[in-house]
Each structure stands twice: as C-alpha cells, then as structure tokens.
C-alpha cells in the first residue's frame, strides 16, 4: 500500500472511529440515567428510548463518511488505485470535520439527553421539550460536520479516474 492510500484510509478510519467512540460514550451516559429511573418507573421506557439512541447518530455519520471515501477509491471493487500523498492528505483533511464533530457532539448530546431523562423522570410532560429538542440542537453540529466532510469529498477533491 502506498503512502497516499495509507493517509486516505487513516482519514476514513478516523471518521468512523471517533464518531463511534463519541456515540458509545453519549449513549452510555444517557442509558445510565435512563436505567436509574426505569428501575422505579419501567413504564417510561418508550419515552426514554429516543433520548438514549440520539447520540448514536454520530457513529453513523462517521461510518457514512468512511464508506464514501472507500467507494470513491474503488475499495470494494478490488481495483484500488495508487494515489498521491497530496490526495491522501486531502482525503484525511476532508474526514476531520465529521470525525471531531461526531466525537465531541455525541458526548455532549449524551449529557444533554441524560439531563432530559432526569427531567422527564420528574416531569414526564417535558420529555420531548427537555430531552429530545435540546439533544437535537446539539445534533445540528454533527450534521454540519458531516456536510462539510461530504462537500469536501464530493466537490473539493479530484478523484482518480474521475
């Protein structure tokens, strides 16, 4: 494997890995809060489920970016081209926004959602407002990171064979 390809795969790997780490932490934070309340109020499971899974989306965004890189490099067809180190660096740089936005936003989204779970445990009528809406506000920044990565990958890079 050449140096350029190694850099490109590091970028794709970072996108998937950091988004996945952030999602795991965020889901863990929220699930811990939900489990604390569900022990006493199991009927609230459905109400808490959305808040618990929300931080998981960043892992999917990272996976999507990594998959896009591998598709563009013809990774799955077996005809992976040699790419220049410059192109490898460009691909790595394009993956950074989704990687770090996913890592950080998933953790903070988990914190916000955990607070929403605690609020909903005391005031169930605020579950959507305090839990879901506030957590979705954090999600916007993960989506922006994904969009920047996709724009860079789709419009900012001259791919081999394009």
Q: Directed axis angle between helix 85-122 and helix 57-72, to 10°?
A: 160
Give me the DSSP letters along the chain: --HHHHHHHHHHHHHHHHHHHHHHHHHHHHHHHHHHHHTT-GGGHHHHHHHHHGGGHHHHHHHHHHHHHHHHTTTTTT-PPP--HHHHHHHHHHHHHHHHHHHHHHHHHHHHHHHHHHHHHH-GGGIIIIIIIHHHHHHHHHHHHHHHHHHHHHHS---TT-
What does the pLDDT look like over 95-128, one tens digit per residue?
999 999 999 999 999 999 999 999 888 888 887 8
Q: Where are the domains of the chain?
A: 3-76+84-155
Q: What's residue 51's pLDDT?
A: 92
Q: Picking from 16-20, 48-52, 76-80, which range would have the lowest pLDDT averaged per residue?
A: 76-80
Residue 29 pLDDT greater than 90, yes or no: yes
Assess whether pLDDT exceeds 80 at residue 79: no
Q: Looking at the predicted structure, is the pLDDT value of residue 162 above 60?
A: no
User: Token pair for residue 78?
Assistant: 């077996």
Does residue 53 carry a pLDDT above 80?
Answer: yes
Q: What pLDDT is stored for residue 46 in this prediction?
A: 85
Percent of the chain scoring above 90 in pLDDT = 74
Question: What's the CATH superfamily of 3-76+84-155?
Answer: lithium bound rotor ring of v- atpase (1.20.120.610)
At 113 the pLDDT is 94
């Amino acid at each position: 494997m050449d140096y350029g390809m190694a850099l490109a795969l590091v970028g794709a790997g970072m996108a998937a890995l950091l988004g996945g780490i952030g999602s795991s932490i965020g889901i863990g934070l929220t699930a811990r809060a939900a489990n604390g309340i569900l022990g006493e109020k199991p009927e609230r499971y459905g109400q808490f489920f959305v808040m618990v899974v929300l931080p998981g989306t960043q892992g999917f965004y990272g996976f999507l970016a990594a998959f896009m890189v591998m598709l563009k490099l013809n990774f799955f067809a077996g005809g992976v081209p040699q790419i220049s180190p410059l192109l490898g660096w460009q691909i790595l740089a394009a993956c950074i926004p989704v990687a770090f936005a996913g890592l950080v936003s998933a953790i903070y989204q988990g914190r916000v959602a955990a607070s929403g779970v605690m609020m909903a445990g005391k005031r169930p009528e605020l579950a959507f407002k305090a839990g879901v809406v506030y957590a979705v506000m954090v999600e916007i920044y993960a989506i922006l990171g994904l969009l920047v990565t996709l724009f860079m990958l789709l419009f900012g890079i001259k791919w081999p064979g394009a």
